[in-house]
Structure 1
């Protein structure tokens, strides 16, 4: 998996289908190749040492050896390389020049944990092989450890960086990215995501140009606006064909991706913690660990890229009891009651849910303090006896007697100015002296860099969870950071606050999820505002968007699926007209869209007609039949909602024994063309039976000729086909 040639000083990392090659030259670690697998890399395309104008020479005896043109594996700035650096360190004298040279390496079985950070993992040392490459700056005593892990069963490379100050003077880290890759040409499209609240993960793809492109977040979260991910694609790359290079950051805070095309048409691509408003003081003997970046190369297009991320993130990033278990069908009361909840109303909804075969009842916002609207009570995690006079334990017991599991909503990271917690501890929120405290959704952000705040939250949330039979928690976060400062950090460390917040959040989540291993945790941030790999390490699923409109969800879920497995995608059927966009779609289409993830409902079941209730009963029954296929099968995108009026995708069992396909038509057209759905991922030599008609077709026929979509008038139509190998 990892080869080292001491004669050429070359490192060759082998994945199932790719190669990643580095070499030490004149003490510098160079990047030679990343792409389709080669057995042995012998340097058929050597690094050019041709001298170029205005390129300072690292060694006057070798006029072509210039850091400004070499493909560097972890570049710095200040001594000849004018491209953006992977790191920057400020010395006590104010200068920022360092010079990292190779000082040794180690290859070992397994994969180390990262201190205080989420990361991919292995369950035995035989599952991966890792490489540590030590780089040192002789002047300052700075040591930088580059770590690469190659998985046996997953087509991916995980990498991270650890900085250590082994000198006698303090150092200040100004930039600390997790990965940087120098490509030798610029013939790529870049693919990233953009969006907003209720409009997350739209796909943005366009050719690279002679410029630097930055995709980032400075909001204290990975955000609705962007995602900590980029892909570089050869121009002809599509779902099934072509080269795709992906890089995904396992982090939930401020991040930056930077893609730079230089005048010689080479590309430097990097990702890591956003250097904007960031610094980290390293006293002698101290260290700093970057988050992990997960790199995937695919020669099978975007579909191959997605499958690699799905398999790894579902089974070696997500953890816990529910990683490999079916997720329950749920009903959430939020859009049914909002803050006007009562025991009587909740039990009435639960009664209808039980009749429909729904498995989990989730009590959303409004159950605590004096929470009659979003102006108060965040931080006061005690039951509001006005609304729940019998208390939480009674309610959970009553629901369990009805055959329903019970879930609860929290927003632990926030505090309302109108709360007992804020009145007692006004310094516990993020703030800076002599500045107003900006409100978002009438709330402030608690300072999770503080141990006393984390201790309070762990105690207060755990008391609620231990006081009732709770099976599920929705962990929400409904505003981004402003006035990012901490009352406990000294002046020289204030720009550490945002990252220390993330480290504190991860510690808090680790504490609570470890204390309650039987609870299914779902993350949320106004929907998809923190849908990132870092959160999946603690909570195996995420509420994908507050927008539950079926048409909107086609794009949102399609974009999300480029990186994240369906088992992580929370999807609900809501009422019409839809509360976010006002659209009226059929219950059938809403059901099919929501069935393509972790299925649930978010509406008032007591207000539905008998026909609608019967439809829901059938949907729940059907989903339970296909649930293993949806949550643990292989997902294939077939028709792109960003390119036309139709969307299609399918799920295929890992052993190719079963498949289900979905087709969605948004708007009807006059004189429409004939449409087919061509399955992917089937066994071409097998015969598959249509479970609705008993007809049988070859896997090759279903993939190449496809099935005909019914010709039916009307907007918002959806269809499903289910096949099983005979």
Structure 2
């Protein structure tokens, strides 16, 4: 029995092997790739391993595949037998049973017909009369017809997330993951193989992704959560989704299309955040001074960060007691809104300070081990969100804040990993975290939510599908951030990437950059400002106002256009506009003191015959693709924004942007 699942331009063909012992991949690629012999099928004899160890299996337990790695490990080995297939609501379900182990496993496949992504997950039902312990819980495995893969992955640490790196794997295995209770700063739950096949895990807790070059010559990638999970008799545990992407032209644009499909349509305002200006010193007069300047330069949203609630004078107190410190807080919010600004607030609802009233009243709400003091990280403890009473507290707290005040934006932070949290509690915490986000969207649909975990510690597919933007890193220094954003945009789309203009010096690359550079960098996603604008000169504020206006003009193309990640540049292609953001990071050419030429950025994916820039200069699409868009970098000009409008040959009577006669390069 064979099934072909069709996405936008690709197909994924899966079959149950003749003995009914497992499902295996037949072909995965452009439409029609399944019409021919499978490139994955084993044609040779098998020595020293089992038949499943050499087959392109989709999902099997230990027992069936004991040597080259199983997707599921439970308390005792297991062997599957096929138990039928169903197709409903666009989902293919292949059921397998093990009556001895007391397990029913249903492999689920959901093709996204408008993009080239296939979602997979497994529904595991305990059919025995006692609890079933799952130790390794994969969501999917996939075999790829490449024996020497080039793996691309995102790694780093706090303040240096999303560093894109590559490794060639001629043999052996590769693993990335997190045991932090969140996806973490060290690795993102995303992997690319030869920039053709991609895997991304929709899980907001601890996880792993592995790749292994198997003796049979296949590369097998697995993704799943870290266990254990205990499934009670009669219960079904559903694994998180794994998204599988295919592209012959690079994967980033496939992931961007998938993000847009999962995101709700929402306008992303230009924001100002007060943290880097005031820290914990939050007072209405000081905040209003910042808000006035922000409004004057064109900001649309003012966000008060940490320090607004009772007891929060430093990082040792206050968390959990979510009531404004100022008795005039309500008036302050209205004063901000009277300036034409929306109002936003920072919260960290999963954490609690030992000095707080909440902890004094509910010390049993934190993760702790009997007879031991809980571990302090950043002077705070982590609430057990898996408890129903904690979940209800968080929901009621956020409901109260959003009902008492006209708040339209929440920055949800989480600044410590999970300690004293046994693996079996990870699942309950994550599911209730999702429930809170779902509640916010249903109960307060006007509120935009920013996902943050000490920067980019929680940017998985599940979180990005339930929030409106995410915060890639606490590091806002320009050249450091350029690398962070470059990696982030391989995994996620620009409309999800919150980026600020600040005066922060580089932690890893301290070369100073101009205000324009910092603005153009932040324009690459959702523009924000975090600098202490009180210290900006009049000229800097005027420049900022011009650049914010510039961003608003291109925002729709940046957030919704097709993205090409170029060398020190990003190209966004809309219906009839091309926007190019470019940065200078290397040595200058010495022009005009010595002979030299313009730096060039070669554009991609152009469809029109000609393009005109805002000065009226006309370029052919061939020139822009093969010669490139010119940039003349200098000490005073280290970044630029270029907008090109597509035109058809012979149709350009005047520049559609300036009204002037067109000019051609000579």
TM-score, normalization: structure 2? 0.93
CA contact (8 A) 1:132 1:148 kept: yes
Matching residue within 131, 139, 143 for 1:170: 131
Distance in 2 (CA, whole Å) between partners of 1:184 and 1:681 is: 28
Q: CA deviation at 1:45?
A: 4.9
Q: CA deviation at 1:49?
A: 5.0
Aligned to 1:546: 474
Alpha-carbon shift at residue 294 of structure 1 (Å): 0.6
Q: What is the distance in 1 between the residues matched to 2:31 and 2:55?
A: 23
Deviation digits for residues 243-265 of structure 1 (CA, Å, limit 9, x no counterpart): x1001111111110011122333
Give the deviation of 1:699 after TM superposition: 2.4
Name the residue aligned to 1:279: 228
Unaligned runs of 5+ in 1: 1-8, 57-65, 91-95, 111-128, 238-243, 486-494, 640-646
Q: Does 1:147 align with 2:66?
A: no
User: Could you tell me which residue of structure 1 aligns to residue 593 of structure 2?
Assistant: none
2:579 aligns with: 660
For 2:44 and 2:167, locate their aligned partners in 1 and report how far apart those are by CA, in whole Å: 31
Other-structure match for 2:273: 332
Which aligned pairs between 1:435-514 and structure 2 lie closer than 5 A? Answer: 435-485=372-422, 495-514=423-442
> C-alpha deviations, 1:210-257, integer Å up to 9, x for none?
212110100001011101111111xxx6xxxxxx10011111111100
Residue in 2 that maps onto 1:310: 256
Q: Secondary structure at the match of 1:215?
A: strand
Q: Which residue of 2 aligns with 1:229?
A: 190
Q: Distance in 1 between matches of 2:416 and 2:503?
A: 26
Contact in 2 for aligned 1:326/1:627 (Cα 8 Å): no
The residue aligned with 2:551 is 623
Distance 1:677 1:184 in 2: 34
Q: Distance in 1 between matches of 2:532 and 2:39?
A: 65
Counterpart Cα distance in 2 of 1:159 and 1:599: 34
Distance apart, 1:511 and its partner CA: 1.9
Offset at residue 669 of structure 1 (A): 4.4
Aligned to 1:701, which of 613, 619, 623?
A: 623
Aligned twin of 2:661: none
Q: Alpha carbons of 1:410 and 1:583: their partners in 2 closer, same or farther (altered >3 Å)? A: farther
Which residue of structure 1 lines up, in the alignment, with residue 663 of structure 2?
none
Q: In structure 1, the residue corresponding to 2:129 is in which secondary structure?
A: coil
Q: 1:34: which partner in 2? A: 28
C-alpha distance in structure 1 between counterparts of 2:586 and 2:305, whole Å: 34
Q: Is the 8 A contact 1:408 1:472 kept in 2?
A: yes
- 1:101 shift after superposition: 1.6
For the residues of structure 2 that align with 1:577 and 1:187, how far apart are their CA atoms? 41
Change (3 A) 1:349 1:266: same
Considering only aligned residues, what root-mean-square deviation do their CA atoms show, in Å?
1.9
Q: Which residue of 2 aligns with 1:297?
A: 246
Q: Describe the superposition over 1:367-423 as per-residue Cα deviations: whole angstroms up to 9, x where unpaired.
A: 0011111010100001102xxx412x2112111111111000000000000100011
Is residue 2:15 matched to residue 1:23?
Answer: yes
Question: Is the contact made by 1:172 and 1:282 (CA closer than 8 Å) also made in structure 2?
Answer: yes
- Aligned residue in 2 for 1:122: none
Q: How many Å apart are 1:429 and its aligned residue? A: 0.6
Cα distance in 1, alignment partners of residues 365 and 96 from structure 2: 40
Name 2:664's counterpart in structure 1. Answer: none
* TM superposition shift of 1:725: 2.2
Write the deviation string for residues 479-534 of structure 1: whole angstroms up to 9, x where unpaired.
1111114xxxxxxxxx3111211112111222233211101111111111111211
Native 8 Å contact 2:148 2:213 kept in 1:
no
Secondary structure of the structure 2 residue equivalent to 1:561: helix
Partner Cα distance (2:482, 2:642) in 1: 18
CA distance 1:673–1:136, change in 2 (3 Å)? farther
Which residue of structure 1 lines up, in the alignment, with residue 144 of structure 2?
Answer: 183
The one of 2, 25, 42 aligned to 1:10: 2
Work out which of the residue numbers 324, 337, 352 in structure 2 matches 1:383.
324
- Cα 1:677–1:582, aligned 2, differ >3 Å: closer, same or farther? closer
Structure 1 residue 577: Cα displacement? 4.2
Partner of 1:67: 52
Give the counterpart of 1:138 among 69, 89, 99. Answer: 99
- Partner Cα separation in structure 2 for residue 670 and residue 611 of structure 1: 28
* Residue of structure 1 equivalent to 2:62: 77
Q: SS state of the match for residue 458, structure 1?
A: helix
CA, structure 1 residues 53+590, in 2 after alignment: closer, same or farther (shift >3 Å)? same
Q: Which residue of 1 aligns with 2:660?
A: none
Distance 1:33 1:264, change over 3 A: same
8 Å Cα contact 1:411/1:476 also seen in 2: yes
Question: Given that residues 157 and 296 in structure 1 are in contact (C-alpha distance below 8 angstroms), is that contact kept between their aligned partners in structure 2?
Answer: yes
1:523 alignment partner in structure 2: 451
Name 2:72's counterpart in structure 1. Answer: 87
* Cα deviation code 1:93-133 (max 9, x no counterpart): xxx1111121111122x3xxxxxxxxxxxxxxxxxx32111
Aligned to 2:519: 591
Structure 2 residue matching 1:507: 3-state secondary structure:
helix
Partner of 1:601 in structure 2?
529
Taking structure 1 as the reference length, what is the TM-score of the superposition?
Answer: 0.85
Change (3 A) 1:24 1:589: same
User: What's the secondary structure of 1:562's corresponding residue?
Assistant: helix
State the distance in 1 between where 2:35 and 2:371 align: 60
2:304 pairs with 1:359: no
| Kept in 2: contact 1:410–1:476 (CA 8 A) | yes
**Aligned counterparts of 1:635 and 1:722: Cα–Cα separation in 2:** 14
Work out the CA distance in 1 between the residues paired with 2:468 and 2:523.
17
Aligned counterpart, 1:288: 237
Unaligned runs of 5+ in 2: 591-595, 648-666
Q: Using the alignment, how far apart are the partners of 1:384 and 1:711 within structure 2? A: 49
**Distance 1:24-1:617 versus aligned 2 partners, 3 A rule:** same
**In the superposition, relative to structure 1, how do residues 46 and 518 fare at CA in structure 2: closer, same or farther (>3 Å)?**
closer
Distance in 2 separating the partners of 1:524 and 1:286: 33
2:199 to 247, 263, 271: 247
Q: Distance in 2 between matches of 1:682 and 1:569?
A: 25
Report the equivalent of 1:61: none
- 2:87 is the counterpart of 1:107: yes
**Does the aligned pair in 1 maintain the 2:171–2:214 contact within 8 Å?**
yes
Q: 1:176 to 1:602 in 2, by over 3 A?
A: same
Greater mean deviation of Cα atoms: 257-266 or 328-337: 257-266
Cα distance change, pair 594–19 in 1 and its aligned pair in 2 (3 A): same
Q: Give the whole-Å Cα distance in 2 for the aligned partners of 1:73 and 1:606.
A: 58
Distance 1:583 1:78 in 2: 56
- Number of equivalences: 640
Q: Which residue of 2 aligns with 1:679?
A: 603
Report the secondary structure of 1:469's partner residue. Answer: coil
Q: Tell me which residue corresponds to 1:4.
A: none
State the SS of the aligned residue for 1:380: coil
